[in-house]
Each structure stands twice: as structure tokens, then as C-alpha cells.
Amino acid sequence: MAGKQMMGRLVSLGLGLTLSLLPAQAKPSKAHPKAKHERRATPQRKRPRKASSRLPQPTPHRLVLNSLSVLVQDQQTGKELVEKAPDTVLPIASITKLMTVMVVLDARQNPEEELLIDHQDLDLLRHSRSRLPLGTRLPRKEALKLALMASENRAANALGHAYPGGMSACVAAMNAKAKALGLGHTRFVDPAGLGDENVSSARDLVQLVRTAYTYYPEIRRDSTTAETELQSGSRSLHFINTSRLVRGGQWVIGLSKTGFIDEAGHCLVMQAQLASRKVFIVLLKAPGKLTHFGDANRIRQWLERRP
């Protein structure tokens, strides 16, 4: 019994010795974290698209005009470049004086004949001011000039009263000429344009301006005169053109006429050269005293930007 116990102890001791002599198994090593300096994978960049060889064409700036009715026509081709309600019939105020001067010139009256400014030439409708005093005597050619460039109402009325047959004959001749020119929207009641029944449309007025520019060199000259002097007795009277575009000298203008009464607003008709192109411009019923000139400048800039 004791021998067996002894034998068992020896076996256990030998086994323990054997196990202690065996190499220890290597413990699995922990995974090392990635080095901080290691680059991260970056997503591939998309290749840029090839630029189109066709560049976008600039679009013309939008033209915004404040006049109620507008028409711009190429003088050479007759093409309408800008239009806004061109057939609307409106009062035209002193634009009327263009037709007054045309029929007076048609009558071939003596340009040197003296006209007298008297009470019948006063504006009793609107009581507008005039720089021509009662009793002023002036040659017909000077009355024509003042009616155009300074828009003198007394000068226009004097021309009407001195017309063969008087004022009524003058107005009748104005309406007859409008009919002959095919101006179906146009009607006149006085030579100065003071009545609101002097009416027309922008389309009719382009034709009127074309006729005046083409056949009446006196109108071209007088309507674009910037300023003039008139001797009345011992007084020297100074008159300036009612168009600041004519006075400014930065436009090439071949004919010009302005107009204003309350019902018509501010009006302007012109022949001018814009962007190497000759055009007729009609602006009717502008709300402010400078608005029609502003519209004209906007039209000029817009045409100069166009290809």
C-alpha cells in the first residue's frame, strides 16, 4: 500500500518536471494600431469636363422705357427696332408745330415778310408764358425758327394767322397734309398744339418726322439750332432749344421737336444717329420733365450694346 503511494508521487513529480521543461506557448500578440503617419485612402476626383468651345452669347440688357408710347425706326430699312404701344392715339402738344411749319413752307410765303405779335396770338387756353412781347415784329423765317427750336406758341399762332386764308385755312391745310401722308390717327385743331385735340400716334409721327427730315431742310436746320438771338426794338431776346439733347452736343441729331401739355405729358421726336445707324425716335406721354430724355439715352445705350 505504501509502495503504491510512493509510486504515484514519483509519477506526479516526473510529469510536473516534464511540463515545466516544455517551451511556453507564445501568447497571440495584439494587433498594432495603424501608424499615425499612414495616409488614408482618398476618393478619386472626378475629371473636369472639357470646356465647350462655344462661348455663351451675351444677351442684350432688357430695355425699360417710361414713356407710354414709343417707336424707333431704322431710317434706311424702315425696320422697327423698338416699339411700345405705337398705335395708341394721344395728344401730341407742340409736336404739332412740325406740321404747322411744313404747311407754311408749302405755301411759299415770303420768309422776310414781317409778322406782328399781337393779342390774337396770346395763349388764352393755357396762359403759357412767352418771351415774345406783344408788339414784337419779326421776319417769318425767324418765327419759323422760334416755333421749332424754342417752341414759341406766339410765333406759331402768328404763322397761323398770317397763313393765306387765316388760322382756319392753316389748320385745314395741316389736316389735309396729314391725310395725304396717310396719317390716319392724326388730327390738328390749332397751329401751336395747345389743344388736347391735337392728336396722333407714334407710328404716324415717325412718318411725319421722316417727311419733314427728307423734304424740309429748313426744319432740319432750325429744329437743331441750340440757341439764337432776336432783336426786338432796343432789346436783344435770347432763346434756347427746348431739347437738352440738342443743347448738350453729345448726340448727332438731324431733327428734333419737344412738346408738353398736361394731357400729353412730355413728348419728343427726333432723327438721330445711334451706333452708326440713322433712326427716327418718337416718345410720347413721358411722366416727368426729364423722363423722355432719359428714355432716349436708354435707347441709345441699348442700341450701342447690340451686336
Report the catalytic residues: 94, 97, 151
Distant-in-sequence, close-in-space partners of 59: CB < 8 Å, separation ≥ 6 = none
Are 68 and 92 within 8 A, CB to CB? no
Beta-ladder partners of 258:
268
Distant-in-sequence, close-in-space partners of 119: CB < 8 Å, separation ≥ 6 = 134
CA distances from 4 to 8, 11, 15, 67, 151 (A): 6, 11, 17, 132, 151
Greatest pairwise CA separation for the chain in angstroms: 174
Residues 269, 292: Cα–Cα separation, whole Å: 10
- Pairing between β-strand 277-286 and β-strand 69-74 as defined by DSSP bridges: antiparallel
Are 258 and 242 within 8 A, CB to CB? yes
Residue with cell 428714355: 295
Phi-psi region of 165 (alpha: psi -120 to 50; beta: other; left: phi over 0): left
Residues 174, 155: Cα–Cα separation, whole Å: 17
Q: Which of 299, 254, 292 shows the shortest CA–CA distance to 272?
A: 254
The cell for 202 is 407714334
- In degrees and rounded to multiples of 5, residue 36 shows phi and psi of -60, -30
The cell for 139 is 421776319
